[in-house]
Amino acid sequence: MTASSATDGILERRNAANPPSSVSLSARRTATGPATGKCPGLGLASALLCLSSLGWIAQAAMLAMGVGAISRGGGVSDVAAPAAVVAAIGVLRAGLDAAGGRLAFRAARRELSTRRAAAAAALALRSPLDSGRPASGLAASVLGEQAEAVVPYLARFRPARMKASTVPLVMLVCIVPISWLAGLILVLCAPLIPVFMALIGWRAKAASEEQLAETGGINAFLLDRLRGLATIRALDAVDATALRLRGDADSLRLRTMAVLKIAFLSSAVLEFFAALGVAATAVYVGFSLLGSVEIGTWEGNLTLTQGLFILLLAPAFFEPLRELSAVWHDRANGEAALSALAELASSHQTILGGVDSQPFTAAGHASVEISGLVFRHGPEREAVIDHFDLSIGPGEHVALWGASGSGKTTLLSLMAGLARHDTGVIRIGGIPLRDDTVDGLRRRMAWIGQSPHVFAASVTRNIALGRVGIDGEAVAAALAGVDLDRVFTPERASAVGEGGLGLSGGEALRLALARMMADERADIILADEPTAHLDAQTAAAVTDALLALAEGRVLIVATHDPVLAARMHRIVRLEGQAPRAAA
C-alpha cells in the first residue's frame, strides 16, 4: 500500500459532502456489464438514419416515374407531382439525417460519460492494498484519452452497421421484382466488398497495433529521458539519446506510412468493387433497354422507368457498405476502449463504502475498539492480522510496533476501512465500521503516510484540498501550527511542484500535518511511519508537530522509530520486540 494513495483516498472521501453512493453502485453495475452492451437512444438514432437512407428509394421511384412520363410525352402536370414528392422527401431526409446524427452523438457521449463515471467510481473504491490496481498513468490514459474512441464507435460505426445490414436488403427487395438479373449482379458484387475489406482489415489491424505500440514506446522513452535529463547531461549521453530518438521517430514514420498504405489500398478495393457493381448493372440495363438482352426480367424487357429506377438504386445499394468501411477502424478502437473501461471498472479488492445508505455524522467520544480481527490478502494467503484485539480510549496515543511485514500498515488501513477484513469487528466511537457507516466514520479520521502526495498547485490548495469551509485563514493557522509559515512566505506561496518538488521530506510531512490541522473534525489520527527516512532533527520537529496536533485526539502511529514510540502513551506490539527507547 502506498501512503500517498491512502492519503488521497481518505482525504478525497472526506471532501465529499454527500458520498456518491448511488453513482458508485450503478457504476459497478455498468462495470460488470459487457464491453459492447446496449446504448440507450442509439437504436432510435440508427433507425432514423436508416429511414433517411431508405427515403432515397422513394425519391428514385419518383424521379424514374417523372422521366418516364416525359419520355411518353407527358406535360408539366405529370412531372410536377413526382418533383414535389422528391423535394419533400429530400427535406424529410435532411431532417432525419440531422436528428439521427445528433441523437447518435448525444447517446454516445452519454454512454461514454456513464462508463467513465463507472470506471472512475470503481477505481476510487479499489483498496490501496490491492496489488492488482492499475498504474495511475494507465488509468489516466484509459479514462482521458483512450475512452474518447467510444464516441465515434457508437455514434458512427453502430448506425453504419445497422444501415449496411438493412438498406441494401430493402433495395434488393425493390429491385428483384423488376429484374432478378440486376438483383443478382448486385448480390454477387456486394459480398466481395466485405470479404476483401476483412482480408485487408486483418493486415490493417496488425499494422495499426504495431504503430500504436511504437507510439507508446516513443512516449515512454521521451518521458523517461525528460525525467532523466540531468543524468543524461551528466553522463554526456545527449548525442546518443538524440540519435536513439531519431531512430525511433524514423521507425514510427515507417509504421505510420504502412498503416496509411493499407488505408489507401482498402478504399481503392472498395471503390473498385462498388464501381464494378454499378457498371455491370448499367451495362445490363442499357442493353436491356436497347433490346439486345432479353433475359433478367420476369416479363418482357425493362421499361425506361424501371431501368432508371434500378440505375438510381445501384450506387445507393453500395453506399451503406462504403460508409461502413469508412468507419471500420472506429470499431477496433472503440471496442478496445470499452474493454479497457470495463476492466478498470471491474470489481476487485475494494474499500468499505459505496453503498446506498443514509449519510450520517459520527458523534461522541473518539475511540477505537478491535475484536477478533482477521485479514488475509487473498483466500489462499496466510492471515496478516490473526484474531487481533485492541482497545484505544479517547485521547490516547498508541504506537504500533513490530518488525517490517508484521502488518502495521495493514492494520491502520483496516481501521480506516481501506480494505475489507475477513472476520472480527472494528468499532469507531462505538459504531461498527461497515459499508453503511464508513463514510460518516471516515470524516472523523485523518491519515498521514510516509510520503504524502503533494501536487503542483498553491500551498493553499494543497492544504485545503477543496474541502468546504477551509479558507485562507484556516490554512494560515494550520501552516503556523506546523511551523511552516516561515517556509511558505507570500513569495513562495505558489511554488510547490508535483510530488512535493521544492520541498524537503520533512516539509512535505509537515504540510500533510497542516492538512489535518485545517480540519477540526478529525479526532482520530492514523499515521504510518511519519518519521521514516528523516534525520533525527527533522524527525523530532515532525514528532513535536504531530503530538501538538494530536493533543486530546486519538493518535495511532505505526513506527520503527523508538523515539517517537517512547513519546506515545502506550506501545502495542504486533510482534514481541520492545523498542529500546521505550523498554
- Between residues 52 and 409, which has the closer beta carbon with respect to ligand ATP? 409
Q: Where are the beta strands (DSSP E) in 252-378?
A: 368-376
Binding ligand ATP by CB under 6 A: which of 14, 126, 408, 442? 408
Is residue 402 within the footprint of ligand ATP (CB under 6 A)? yes
Query: Given candidates 24, 306, 406, 460, which one binds ligand ATP under the rule CB under 6 A?
Result: 406
Options 160-168, 198-206, 267-275, 407-415: segment touching ligand ATP (CB under 6 A) = 407-415
CB of 320 or CB of 449, closer to ligand ATP: 449
Q: Across the strands, what pairs with 445?
A: 524
- Judged by CB under 6 A, which of 6, 104, 129, 511 binds ligand ATP? 129
* Residue 235 grid coordinates: 553522463
Answer whether 281's CB lies under 8 Å from 268's CB: no
- Residue closer to ligand ATP (CB basis): 233 or 533: 533
Residue among 50 and 125 whose Cβ is closer to ligand ATP: 125
> Does residue 6 interact with ligand ATP by CB under 6 A?
no
3-state DSSP of 144-164: HHHHHHHHHHHHHHHHHHHHH
CA distance 134 to 343: 10
Q: Which of 446, 447, 422, 443 is nearest to 431 (CA)?
A: 443
The 540-559 contact track toward ligand ATP, x by CB under 6 A, reads ------------------x-
Q: Is 131 in the site for ligand ATP (CB under 6 A)?
A: yes
Judged by CB under 6 A, which of 405, 432, 469, 472 binds ligand ATP?
405
Q: How far is the CB of 5 from ligand ATP (least distance, A)?
A: 11
Binding of ligand ATP by 421 (CB under 6 A): no
At residue 340, φ and ψ (nearest 5 deg) are -65, -40
How open is the CA angle 234-237-242, to the nearest 5 degrees? 135
**Which residue stretches of 126-237 are H helix?**
136-140, 150-152, 158-175, 180-189, 192-227, 229-234
Residue 190: C-alpha distances to residues 169, 276, 315 (Å) = 11, 10, 11
The reply on whether position 409 binds ligand ATP by CB under 6 A is yes
With contacts defined by CB under 6 A, name the span among 102-110, 303-311, 401-409, 453-461 that binds ligand ATP: 401-409
The percent helix, strand, coil of the chain (3-state, each to 5) is 60, 10, 30
Interaction of residue 384 with ligand ATP, rule CB under 6 A:
yes
Residue 1 engages ligand ATP in binding (rule: CB under 6 A): yes
| Torsion sign across C-alpha atoms 25, 30, 31, 32 | positive
Query: How many other C-beta atoms lie within 10 A of the C-beta of residue 321?
Result: 24
Binding mask 344-383 for ligand ATP (x = CB under 6 A): ---------------------------------x------
Least CB distance to ligand ATP at residue 408 (A): 4
Binding site for ligand ATP (CB under 6 A): 1, 129, 131, 377, 384, 402, 404-410, 558
